[in-house]
Amino acid sequence: MLTVQGNQFVVNGRPFQILSGAIHYFRVVPEYWEDRLLKLKHCGLNTVETYIPWNLHEPKKGQFHFTGIADLEAFVRLAESLGLYVILRPSPYICAEWEFGGLPAWLLKEKDIELRCSHPAFLQHIEEYYDELIPRIKPLLSTNGGPVLAVQIENEYGGYGNDKTYLAFLRDALQKRGVDVLLFTSDGPDMLADGSLPDVLATVNFGSRPDEAFQKLKAFQPGRPLMCMEFWDGWFDHWTGEHHVRDGKDVADTLEQMLEMGASVNFYMFHGGTNFAFYNGANHYETYTPTITSYDYDSLLSESGDITPKYEMVKKVLAKYAKRQETKMPATSPKKAYGTVELTESISLFDTLPAIGKTVRSPYPLTMEQLDQSYGFTLYKTTIDGKGRFEMDITPVRDRAFIYVNRHYQKTVSRRDENKFVMLDFPQEINSLEILVENMGRVNYGKNLKDSKGMAGNLWINNKYVFDWEMTAIELDRLPVLFKNQKENRYPKFFRGILEIQEDAAPDTFVQLDGWTKGNVFINGFNLGRYWSVGPQATLYLPGPLLKKGKNELVVLELEGNRTTTISLAAEPNLG
């Protein structure tokens, strides 16, 4: 059990320095959890930290998911069996460059809901989620003989709001369900006042200048232990942006400064992993900017779990300050270039809509969340009367859309477009207008957090609102089975091919998307995430455990157009 005595952490009666690293179980396939945790321990760390994403565990209201990659308890028990302590951050908001900061999209079905504050409906949903989540965590707590030393309340709340009643509600919600380990908050050094509670330990998050950050923490909370809850050793990337890297020596030097001060630390990230499926978040300061699929983070282990030079430098520094627990080091996980796969079959999304979509009608456009849909695409369809060239205001589009008139592709529009008006030609007296909207990931941080998808309002076309809409939710939780009876030639299209694997335990590989524009890749039905030729990321990580000996089904959903129908599988990633 972890306690605070003066300016020290104490475990089992002895002073304890928390040397922790973040691994998000939900960003790593379960078969590799042990490998990553062993590498963490081998580096000289004694604790693993993870967030808990509400939207993964309660994908639909009242439907809970705690198996496979969502098996939080198995992850914690595994860490324990390897001799590691655990820190949990079940906020329920987690930021983390994760879709909607971990909040479930269905919260937005209630349009007037206020997030991350004492809004009664928001609190009620948290209560119901915690009734399911916390009893799972309780036996894992160190006070009950488990490995969990500490639990975080909210996440950098000082960077969002000032509702202390809400923070106190979260504290009480944990404690009344039996969470009796050390509670803490974490914030930027200048945001401590709004983010913390008087009786809860405050910690700080930063990437550099530990002296300054810890001075601020000491001034705010004198005589207590110093802890950097997020030591940013790298950074994440946005589509169209640069691939971020951070010098390993700089990270090791910064760590050394912290350890010299006797501080505790949690590497954010020790191992970043992958935003599989549609789970990437987005930022929205000036403009909406979605995060890429890889969460490599340029952290101590690469996205595919390999030791980096930064890892070695950090290990050396840790060895100077702390006695490393001896542990076996797993073998390097092999990577393989499997060559090329020919995607021989294809079908337009429009030909397979009945199999993968769910259609409803409404006088006005409903948002994605109002359609009980969280991720993927929504097709909005209506009729436009009259021949002519009409102006349409695209402001409600979240986030990017393909526009078709009478089943012919016209234009792609985006929430990022500065000009919110497009001109469309309607050649007939009665025309069909279809708008296929892509959710590119909900905002996970800051003032634009409340980010409904699909159509966030009605469309103003030719100086009036248009009524009578048909909407098809395409969540892509199931893929088309039949690739025949192709009538349409319109994109998006699904492409399918077979990857033959000889090995019983297939090595990892990287899916190269040269010649493809934008979409998602699925292996045996598992959604590996998004690709986009704008970069920086040019390959998708395909972990070996997702492959099986024999035939593997590779499906690409291409949204815009491809110059090739082959996919190459390489031994090296290309993150730009």
Which residues are the active-site residues? 156, 230
Residue 301 engages ligand GLA in binding (rule: CB under 6 A):
no
Out of 49, 71, 80, 97, the residue judged to bind ligand GLA by CB under 6 A: 97
Q: Quick one: DSSP state of residue 158?
A: G
Applying CB under 6 A, the span of 92-100, 334-342, 362-370, 458-466 interacting with ligand GLA comes to 92-100
Strands (E), 288-371: 288-290, 339-342, 345-348, 358-362
Q: Which residue is nearest to ligand GLA (CB)?
A: 95
How far is the CA of 206 from the CAs of 88, 157, 265, in angstroms? 19, 15, 11
* 47 versus 205: smaller Cβ distance to ligand GLA: 205
CB of 114 to ligand GLA, least distance (A): 21
CA distance 371 to 207: 41
Nearest to 358 by CA among 368, 346, 348: 368
Dihedral sign (CA 343, 349, 355, 356): positive
Q: Quick one: DSSP state of residue 323?
A: P
* 537 versus 568: smaller Cβ distance to ligand GLA: 537
CA distance 239 to 160: 25
Out of 46, 47, 155, 552, the residue judged to bind ligand GLA by CB under 6 A: 155
| Orientation of helix 248-260 relative to helix 210-220, angle to 10° | 40
CB of 478 to ligand GLA, least distance (A): 31
How far is the CA of 365 from the CAs of 60, 349, 372, 377, 430, in angstroms? 21, 21, 14, 14, 20
Restricted to residues 324-353, the positions that interact with ligand GLA (CB under 6 A) are none
Nearest to 333 by CA among 39, 25, 9, 12: 39
Nearest to 207 by CA among 243, 153, 238, 250: 250
* 205 versus 294: smaller Cβ distance to ligand GLA: 205
Restricted to residues 438-467, the positions that interact with ligand GLA (CB under 6 A) are none
Burial 408-446 (b: 16+ CB within 10 A, else e): ebbebbebeeeeeebebebeeeebbbbbbbbbbbbbbbe
Out of 2, 95, 174, 499, the residue judged to bind ligand GLA by CB under 6 A: 95
Residue 233 engages ligand GLA in binding (rule: CB under 6 A):
no
> In this structure, what are the phi and psi dihedrals at residue 113, rounded to the nearest 5 degrees?
-65, 140
Strands (E), 439-517: 454-455, 460-461, 464-465, 469-474, 493-501, 509-512
CB of 495 to ligand GLA, least distance (A): 34
Out of 54, 236, 494, 526, the residue judged to bind ligand GLA by CB under 6 A: 236
CB of 331 to ligand GLA, least distance (A): 30
Restricted to residues 14-73, the positions that interact with ligand GLA (CB under 6 A) are none
Restricted to residues 205-224, the positions that interact with ligand GLA (CB under 6 A) are 205
The answer to whether the beta carbons of residues 261 and 214 sit under 8 Å apart is yes
CB of 433 to ligand GLA, least distance (A): 38
Applying CB under 6 A, the span of 40-48, 90-98, 189-197, 520-528 interacting with ligand GLA comes to 90-98
* 443 versus 555: smaller Cβ distance to ligand GLA: 443
Which x/- pattern, by CB under 6 A, does the window 99-138 give for ligand GLA?
----------------------------------------
405 membership: H or E segment, kind and range: strand 400-405
Residue 96 engages ligand GLA in binding (rule: CB under 6 A):
yes
* 50 versus 346: smaller Cβ distance to ligand GLA: 50
Phi-psi region of 381 (alpha: psi -120 to 50; beta: other; left: phi over 0): beta
Residue 230 engages ligand GLA in binding (rule: CB under 6 A):
yes
Applying CB under 6 A, the span of 94-102, 112-120, 429-437, 563-571 interacting with ligand GLA comes to 94-102
User: Residue 488: CB partners within 8 Å, gap ≥ 6?
Assistant: 348, 350, 351, 407
Residue 516 engages ligand GLA in binding (rule: CB under 6 A):
no
**Which spans in 82-156 are helix H?**
120-137
Applying CB under 6 A, the span of 93-101, 116-124, 486-494, 550-558 interacting with ligand GLA comes to 93-101
The answer to whether the beta carbons of residues 497 and 345 sit under 8 Å apart is yes
CB of 295 to ligand GLA, least distance (A): 9
Residue 279 engages ligand GLA in binding (rule: CB under 6 A):
no
CA distance 159 to 142: 30
Residue 156 engages ligand GLA in binding (rule: CB under 6 A):
yes
Q: What is the 3-state secondary structure (H, E, C) of 35-50?
A: HHHHHHHHHCCCEEEE
Applying CB under 6 A, the span of 95-103, 163-171, 321-329, 345-353 interacting with ligand GLA comes to 95-103
Is the link from the previous residue into 536 a cis peptide, with omega within 30 of 0? yes
Applying CB under 6 A, the span of 75-83, 91-99, 136-144, 421-429 interacting with ligand GLA comes to 91-99
CB of 136 to ligand GLA, least distance (A): 22
User: Residue 226: CB partners within 8 Å, gap ≥ 6?
Assistant: 7, 214, 217, 218, 258, 261, 262, 263, 264
CB of 299 to ligand GLA, least distance (A): 10
* 197 versus 456: smaller Cβ distance to ligand GLA: 197
Q: Residue numbers of the site for ligand GLA (CB under 6 A)?
A: 95-97, 155-156, 205, 230, 236
